[in-house]
Amino acid sequence: MILFIHRKDLRTQDLAAFERIAGLGEQGLHVFIADPALLTSIRKDEHSGVHFLSQVRRLQELYIQAGRNLHILYGDPAEIVDSILGQYPVSELVVGRDYTPYALARDHKLEKKAEQHGVPFTSLPDQTLIDLEDFHAFAGRKEPYKVFTPFYRKWKEYMELFFRPPGSVLVSDLRTAELEPELSDRFRLPFVLEDYPVAEEPSIRLADFIEDDLHNYEQGRDQYGSDGTSRISGILNTGALSIRTVYQRVMGIPEGEAWRRQLAWRDFYLYQSVFDPDFYHYEQRYDLSLLDDKLFSAWANAETGIPVIDAAMTQLNETGQLPNRLRMVTAMFLTKNLLCPFPLGEAYFRLKLADYDNAPNRGGWLWSSSLGFDAAPYFRIMNPVNQSEKFDPLGTYIRRWLPQLADVEGREIHRPRPHAIVDLKASRERAIGVYKEILRSRTVGGPE
Ligand SMILES: Cc1cc2nc3c(=O)[nH]c(=O)nc-3n(C[C@H](O)[C@H](O)[C@H](O)COP(=O)(O)OP(=O)(O)OC[C@H]3O[C@@H](n4cnc5c(N)ncnc54)[C@H](O)[C@@H]3O)c2cc1C
């Protein structure tokens, strides 16, 4: 019997693990473990947790429809695996590979537990389009790519040669085992999963985007007043749709190039998380003590007096959605104009973003604070008013999210309100000086 644990692959087709289980021809014990370390009591009621659990509910429905068993458990993954391996004749433990520091430590423990029971542990790359290790070997470089454009050139070359098409095994092709009631009871969820809505069918959203917006994506993606992007990041990050399936839908479409490039950005952040030893440690490499949290809550509560910032934070707080351009604008405003350390904003997005994912989120925050590979230069600071005038000239977005400003006429809609908490020009000058100091403070060392 194979023990398979669903993690960031909440779907029932096109999984590397399903191909492996089918190949071994054995029955599977399929579980999803709600891990209290990841699903804290705060997070499970915030947009990021709600979105994730909605996808778990959908996964549960898919198993039921296919007449197969999925066991949803709660607790420390190593303890659960230990109990299962102690009671079942498991011949292999299979998971999809994950790359965050927590995930690596967790999987190390799982591997050790499996070893104690004499069970092989197989972790299959399944989150990215390129196989990260294989790509690195293919590129044949000593140093990893630090800039996106050359990375992308090589990425395209690799994809042409080695793109792995979607797998064909469905959950209904597999035999799945029951779980002893004693085990289900011992690791029962402490909340009611049925309280969460079942996530919508993800392929419909993708199909609508390809039909309606793909051709105009390059021009439309930054016009955040109208929804010109796919909004599938949450679907990709929970694995509700496989990245291979998505890519295959847009492969070879000439007007799909700009969008495929964004899928490569997703791979680039995961690549950095593996090959940049500092990726999760920049706050320890630089002295951030010139920054503080004094203005953080005004930013988080949409009370800065800068209309586009407050509109964006209102959308985020209310819906868990935020267009990419406004993630950059709000992140840069917090880290530069308000001089708050990036980990504060990163942690806030972790709770609030419905599509939260560790690597692209950290990548975005590092970019805004001029740290890490291919980051924004410290002296190039986005002006939120100019950004708003450029990408939403009529102020449609601000009027939608701040109805109290709906009647403000013309370009005035973009301008700071009288109670604005910072002067944009003065705070920009100050930030340039402070970040120059921060970038000078770099220390070298291994990850803590
Ligand atoms: C500060 C900050 C925080 C961010 N946090 C997250 C996060 O937690 N989760 C997350 O998935 N993305 C994050 N991003 C990246 C990006 O904003 C979102 O992926 C994008 O807005 C999702 O919308 P979409 O699905 O409509 O994307 P589309 O524009 O339709 O792009 C298609 C897909 O490409 C990928 N993609 C697009 N832009 C980027 C990008 N800049 N970086 C990496 N991948 C990209 C996403 O998987 C996306 O779904 C963050 C960016 C910034 C600046």
Q: How much is the pLDDT for 353?
A: 98
DSSP collapsed to 3 states, the chain: CEEEEECCCCCCECCHHHHHHHHHCCCEEEEEEECCCCCCCCHHHCHHHHHHHHHHHHHHHHHHHHCCCCEEEECCHHHHHHHHHHHCCCCEEEEECCCCHHHHHHHHHHHHHHHHCCCCEEEECCCCCCCHHHHHHHHCCCCCCCCHHHHHHHHHHHHHHHCCCCCCCEHHHCCECCCCHHHHHHCCCCCCHHHCCCCCCHHHHHHHHHHHCHHHHHHHCCCCCCCCCCCCHHHHHCCCCCHHHHHHHHCCCHHHHHHHHHHHHHHHHHHHHHHCCCCCCHHHHCCCCCCCCCCHHHHHCCCCCCHHHHHHHHHHHHHCCCCHHHHHHHHHHHHHHCCCCHHHHHHHHHHHCCCCCHHHHHHHHHHHCCCCCCCCCCCCCCCHHHHHHHHCCCCHHHHHHCHHHCCCCHHHHHCCCCCCCCCHHHHHHHHHHHHHHHHHCCCCCCCC
Q: How much is the pLDDT for 447?
A: 43
**CATH number of the 128-165+202-275 domain:** 1.25.40.80
Contacts of 129 (CB under 8 A, 6+ apart): 155, 159, 163, 243, 244, 247, 263, 264, 267
- Higher pLDDT among residues 227 and 340, named by residue: 340
**CATH number of the 282-440 domain:** 1.10.579.10
Per-residue pLDDT at 1 exceeds 50: yes
Q: How much is the pLDDT for 443?
A: 82
Atom of ligand 1 nearest to the CA of 234: 11
Percent of the chain with pLDDT over 90: 96
| Ligand 1 contacts CB of residue 214 (under 6 A) | no
Other C-beta atoms closer than 10 Å to the C-beta of 415 total 16
Break the chain into its structural domains and give their ranges: 1-126, 128-165+202-275, 282-440
CA distance 358 to 321: 16
The predicted model scores a pTM of: 0.97
As a whole number, the mean pLDDT across the chain is 97
Q: Report the alpha-carbon angle 354-356-357, nearest 5.
A: 150
Q: Whose CA is nearest to atom 16 of ligand 1?
A: 324
What is the homologous superfamily of the domain 1-126 according to CATH?
HUPs (3.40.50.620)
CA distance 11 to 240: 5
CA distance 389 to 49: 34
**Average of pLDDT values for 7-27?**
98
Q: Quote the ligand 1 centre to 237 CA distance (angstroms).
A: 10
Known binding-site residue numbers for FAD: 217, 229-233, 259, 262-269, 355-357
Instruction: Read off the pLDDT band of 265 (50, 70, 90).
Output: very high
Instruction: Read off the pLDDT band of 40 (50, 70, 90).
Output: confident
pLDDT tens by residue, 153-195: 999 999 999 999 999 999 999 999 999 999 999 999 999 999 9
Q: Quote the ligand 1 centre to 329 CA distance (angstroms).
A: 14
| Ligand 1 contacts CB of residue 155 (under 6 A) | no
Q: How much is the pLDDT for 307?
A: 98
Instruction: Read off the pLDDT band of 41 (50, 70, 90).
Output: confident
Q: Whose CA is nearest to atom 46 of ligand 1?
A: 233
Q: How much is the pLDDT for 187?
A: 98
Per-residue pLDDT at 448 exceeds 70: no
Q: Quote the ligand 1 centre to 243 CA distance (angstroms).
A: 14
Q: Quote the ligand 1 centre to 360 CA distance (angstroms).
A: 7
Per-residue pLDDT at 445 exceeds 80: no
| Ligand 1 contacts CB of residue 122 (under 6 A) | no
Per-residue pLDDT at 446 exceeds 70: no
Q: Quote the ligand 1 centre to 315 CA distance (angstroms).
A: 16
